[in-house]
Structure 1
């Protein structure tokens, strides 16, 4: 199968299973995922339960002292204007 040569990590496994179910090779656009739940990224709660994973972002409960989360979902490590302006302002304050 073609999926084996591209590696079966994360989305590779999903593509392989979709191909088996549909009896046709699935197109694998991205082989890996870089998803980091915001709750985990800013150290607010454990992600081992549904309630923990989807809890509200409360800066008072965070292990981090100063952070900003994007107001829209972005790919992991994606830079947007909102976050860039926050970083520039933090550098000006330093």
Structure 2
């Protein structure tokens, strides 16, 4: 399983030790983030999740209709006060100065 995920990661051009991608856990139904080797780097805990941007932030749904953003260390950088993902994305853009 880990080898298959690592191969898939390489095929997608993921960077070893750096890139994380969102994945839904089939057991819990929650989203987390896998590392290059297919191991959980951020354990499944989100109702929904978006990929990390180039600056290292991702928009996540913490509870039903409670969207915010995290960094690669799973720290909340935008409080989950938004009812839609695009609202949290807009707040993240403002934080980053876009």
TM band (smaller chain):
under 0.3
Higher strand share: 2
* TM-score, structure 1 normalization: 0.28
Higher helix share: 1
* TM-score, structure 2 normalization: 0.27
Higher gyration radius (CA): 1
